[in-house]
Structures are given as structure tokens and as C-alpha cells.
């Protein structure tokens, strides 16, 4: 499933970027070696980053 249709960034690529340390959408675009275009995917990327942050916090408890 694509998260970013403009750049063809798939969900698994976003997760890989987050696992590699991406903490904001700009980091995900950099990881994918592209730039935001329409930016409609940014909210989904932020949500995925936030979900990952919460999962990591729960795992640390
Ligand atoms: S959908 Fe990601 S920049 Fe347009």
C-alpha cells in the first residue's frame, strides 16, 4: 500500500525510515531520496511516527 502516491513511497518504506530514526516526514522523504510534492501524505506519516513512538514507549514500560 502506498502512503505517498506522488513519490511512490510504500508503507513498508515509511516503517523502515522510522526504524532508521526518522522523526518527522522530512526525514522520511530524505530516506526515500525525494521531496514532498502535494504533501497530502504528511498527516499519515506523522500518524505512523506517533504510533511508533507510542509503541516504543509501551515497550519500554
Ligand atoms: S502524496 Fe506524498 S507528496 Fe503527494
Number of domains composing the chain: 1
User: How many angstroms separate the Cα of 33 from the Cα of each of 10, 17, 46, 51, 57?
Assistant: 13, 11, 18, 23, 29
Residue nearest to atom 1 of ligand 1 (CA): 4
CA angle (31, 53, 46) in 5-degree steps: 55
Q: Give the predicted TM-score (pTM) of the model.
A: 0.93
Phi, psi of 46 (to 5 degrees): -60, -40
Per-residue confidence (pLDDT) for residue 9, from 0 to 100: 98
Measured from CB, residues less than 6 Å from any atom of ligand 1 are 4-7, 36-41
Identify which of 25, 36, 45 to mutate to test ligand 1's pocket (most ligand atoms within 8 A of the CB): 36
Residues of the chain with pLDDT under 70: none
Per-residue confidence (pLDDT) for residue 13, from 0 to 100: 98
Residue nearest to atom 2 of ligand 1 (CA): 4
Q: What is the CATH number of the domain that holds 13?
A: 1.10.10
Per-residue confidence (pLDDT) for residue 61, from 0 to 100: 86
Range of the domain at 42: 2-60
Amino acid at each position: 500500500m502506498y502512503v505517498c502516491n506522488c513519490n511512490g513511497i510504500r508503507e513498508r518504506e515509511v516503517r523502515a525510515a522510522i526504524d532508521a530514526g526518522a522523526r518527522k516526514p522530512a526525514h522520511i522523504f530524505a530516506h526515500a531520496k525525494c521531496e514532498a510534492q502535494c504533501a497530502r501524505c504528511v498527516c499519515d506519516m506523522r500518524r505512523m511516527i506517533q504510533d511508533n513512538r507510542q509503541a516504543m514507549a509501551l515497550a519500554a514500560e
